[in-house]
């Protein structure tokens, strides 16, 4: 098994794990974690495929895409977390502060 195949298949599995988490976890934070997990799986597939020929340096295009993806993922996560906070904090404010 070549490293490329190994990591690419792991990426596929991680994507599925994230997908199942998105469906099966009730907690909203868990869903945000799931989306992150699925995203990491996709990144792993991309970067693994960038390195198909072991002798030459890896293909820069998928790497640049993943780099962009990581930064976009963290901002999307922050938006999701801000929404989550808004949801959890509004109703609970009056009784006990």
Partner 1 sequence: MDSSLAWFDAILTLTLVVVALRVLFAQDLFQAIVLFIVFGLLLSLAWCRLGAVDVALAEAAIGAGLTGALFLNTLATTRRHGDQAPPAETIDRKGAWVDDKLPTLRPRPSTPWTGRLAFGLVAGSVTAWMAAVVVPLAVSSDAPRIAIDEAMLRSGVTNPVTAVLLNFRAYDTLLEVAVLMLAVLTVSSLTAGSARVSKALPSGPVLTSFVRLILPVVVMVAVYVLWSGTKAPGGAFQAAALLGAGGVLLLVTDTQSPSCARYLRRVLLVAGLAVFLLVGLGGMLGAGRFLEYPPAWAGVLITLVETVLTVSIALVLVMLFVGTSPTGAEGSARASDETPGATPLVSRERTS
Residues 28-57 that bind partner 1 (CB under 8 A): 28-30, 32-34, 36-37, 40, 43-45, 47-53, 57
* Half-sphere exposure of residue 91: CA atoms within 13 angstroms, side-chain side: 3
Q: How far is the CB of 94 from partner 1 (least distance, A)?
A: 10
On whether the CB atoms of residues 25 and 31 are closer than 8 A, the answer is yes
Q: How far is the CB of 77 from partner 1 (least distance, A)?
A: 6
Contact status: 13 vs partner 1 (CB under 8 A): yes
Q: Which of residues 62-91 bind partner 1 (CB under 8 A)?
A: 63-68, 70-72, 74-79, 81-91
Contact status: 6 vs partner 1 (CB under 8 A): yes
How many residues are recorded in the chain? Answer: 97
Task: Determine the size of the site formed for partner 1 (CB under 8 A).
Answer: 81
Q: How far is CA 43 from CA 3, 67, 82, in A?
A: 15, 9, 24
Round to whole Å and give the CA distance between 8 and 1: 11
Q: How far is the CB of 39 from partner 1 (least distance, A)?
A: 10
Token duo for residue 57? 């340096």
């Amino acid at each position: 098994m070549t490293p490329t195949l190994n990591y690419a298949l792991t990426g596929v599995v991680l994507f599925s794990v994230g997908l199942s988490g998105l469906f099966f976890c009730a907690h909203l934070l868990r869903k945000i974690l799931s989306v992150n997990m699925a995203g990491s799986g996709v990144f792993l597939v991309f970067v693994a495929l960038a390195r198909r020929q072991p002798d030459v340096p890896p293909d820069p295009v998928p790497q640049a895409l993943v780099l962009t993806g990581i930064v976009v993922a963290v901002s999307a996560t922050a938006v999701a977390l801000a929404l989550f906070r808004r949801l959890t904090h509004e109703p609970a404010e009056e009784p006990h502060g």
